[in-house]
Amino acid sequence: MADAKDKKKNPAASASSAGPGTTDTGEGAHDEGHGHGSELTDVIELGSRGDGLSKSALGVGIVGLVLSVVLGGGVFGLTFQRAYLAAFMWGLSISLGALAWVTIQHLMAARASIVMRRLGEVIAQGVIIMALLALPLLIPVLMHDPVLYSWLDHEVVEKFHLHSKEPWLSSASFAVRMAIYFGFFIVFARFLLKTSIKQQAPGQGLALAAKLQARSAPGMIAFAILLTFCSIDFLMTLDPIWFSTIFGVYYFSTAILTFCSVLMLGIIWLQSRGVLSSAITAEHRHDVGKFMFGFIIFWTYIGFSQFMLIWYANIPEETHWFHDRLEGSWKPATLVLAALHFAIPFFGLMSREVKRNKGAMVFWSLWVLAVCWFDMYWLVAPNFLKDGVSIGVVDITTLLGVGGVLLWFVLWRAKDVSLLASGAPRLDQSLAFENI
């Protein structure tokens, strides 16, 4: 905190030396009005405040996973696998969204978001547990069990002439790629958190901020490519014939959405426990709300482009994927997805007052998390449930299982670190941030 105070006294010095992202003409030292930058007395450690939630999350998670395995016909059962994949991709999107968001903040040398950056860094640690949670999906692939991925079945390969895809669609290359994805995600997430913590040491802020920004550029490139292929491998290859070049972007939009919702819920929960209660203001929450609103539109843009182009050209090897999702009871399900994922939250999140209201944002964050899960379900299930929609107990228990374990892990990681990136240069500007 002392560091932040020093910066406050000399904002010009910090701005001009804080790396190339800042500007002179665009110097937005909004230091009028809100003086709490210099006298921040917030609690910035979680300590034991999250123990109760953490314990119940772990309990729910374990019970959920066990129940899912039992009710879903074992680890190799189709019901379990398909429900688990949707829940897993949902959980993974939260962690990956956090990773992307933190990287983008570094890249743009963003000021407004600094007070929330540590939360993002901690949530991004979820990739570690998600790597472990990937094992139930990976094991059947390694054992050449085509329960989920039909390309492991030789007959399917023969029938649909998939030989040319074999270098990609084989259990060995799948496993190698998984190792690369999660290896990178974990290393990168840990790097971002560790370096950010090191910034708290006196005199480290500026140098490490420059380092974080410099590493974020290649990091973002690698991340974009790996996130794309990760989503292609887990979701797109469920239908080994279908292909869409925009698929990675689609999953990316979900990732940012789920992360922003979790961040919003996290902030409100922490503040209700008396943590960061004055550092993060309605202005910051408003900003997260704008991100949610923006990405609601972005998701629609990407989803509609993908649908419209495939619908319009009507080429059999592409159209069948949407045909599966527009047959029988899947058609209303698809329309419901569009309504729940776009139309309703679009109008719901439009107002400035809503984005600044805690109660409303709890509602909309939960809403967005729920529809993003439904989106994942919609990507996975129609490949298997040709007769129509059926959301069973296992779909819910896997979601609770993955969500519970992920929440427990993130809370556990959050316990020992400061929840405010207090070493970051220009923290004072973030504290004083105001929307236009």
List of residues contacting other proteins (CB under 8 A): 20-21, 23-33, 35, 107-108, 112, 161-162, 164-165, 168, 217, 221, 224-225, 228, 241, 243-249, 297, 301-302, 304-315, 317, 350, 434, 436
Beta bridge partners of 45: 418
Q: Indicate the residue among 269 and 301 with the shorter CB distance to other proteins.
A: 301
* Identity of the residue, 108 or 132, whose beta carbon is nearer to other proteins in the bound complex: 108
Q: For the CB of residue 410, give the shortest distance to other proteins in the complex, in Å.
A: 27
Beta carbon nearer to other proteins, 175 or 246 = 246
User: Under a CB-based contact definition with an 8 Å cutoff, are residues 224 and 368 in contact?
Assistant: no
Task: Please report the DSSP string for 347-396 in residue order.
Answer: HHTTSHHHHT-HHHHHHHHHHHHHHHHHHHHHHHGGGT-TT-----HHHH
CB closer to other proteins out of 34 and 415:
34
Q: Is the separation of the CB atoms in 165 and 173 below 8 Å?
A: no
The structure tokens listed for 196 are 């950010």
Return the bridge partners of 418, or none. Answer: 45
DSSP string across 118-135:
HHHHHHHTHHHHHHHHTH
- Residue 41 beta carbon to other proteins: minimum distance, rounded to whole angstroms: 19
Residue with smaller CB distance to other proteins, 176 or 391: 176
Q: What angle do CA 226, 230, 231 make, to 5 degrees?
A: 120
Eight-state DSSP code of residue 22: -
Helix pair angle (205-234, 171-198), 10° resolution: 160
Report the nearest approach of other proteins to the CB of residue 174 (Å): 13
Query: CB of 135: closest distance to other proteins in angstroms?
Result: 26
Nearer to other proteins, 244 or 271 (CB): 244
Structural contact between residues 398 and 84, judged by C-beta atoms closer than 8 angstroms: yes
Cβ at position 291, least distance to other proteins in Å: 10
Residue of 430, 421, 335 lying closest to 378 (CA atoms): 335
209: nearest Cα among 108, 282, 286, 340: 108
Residue position matching structure tokens 């923006």:
294
**What value does the CA radius of gyration of the chain take, rounded to a whole number of Å?**
22
Q: Toward other proteins, which CB reaches closer, 375 or 395?
A: 375
CB of 250 to other proteins, least distance (A): 9
Question: By C-beta, is 76 or 229 nearer to other proteins?
Answer: 229
Minimum gap (Å) between residue 121 Cβ and other proteins:
21
Shortest spacing between CB 164 and other proteins, in angstroms: 5
Nearer to other proteins, 244 or 277 (CB): 244
Q: In 3-state terms, the chain is what percent helix, strand and coil (to 5)? A: 70, 0, 25
Quote the least distance from Cβ 203 to other proteins, whole Å.
23
Q: Indicate the residue among 80 and 378 with the shorter CB distance to other proteins.
A: 378
Produce one character per residue of 319-342: b if its CB has 16 or more CB atoms within 10 Å, e if not.
bebbebbbeeebeebbeebeebbb
Min CB(436)–other proteins separation in Å: 6
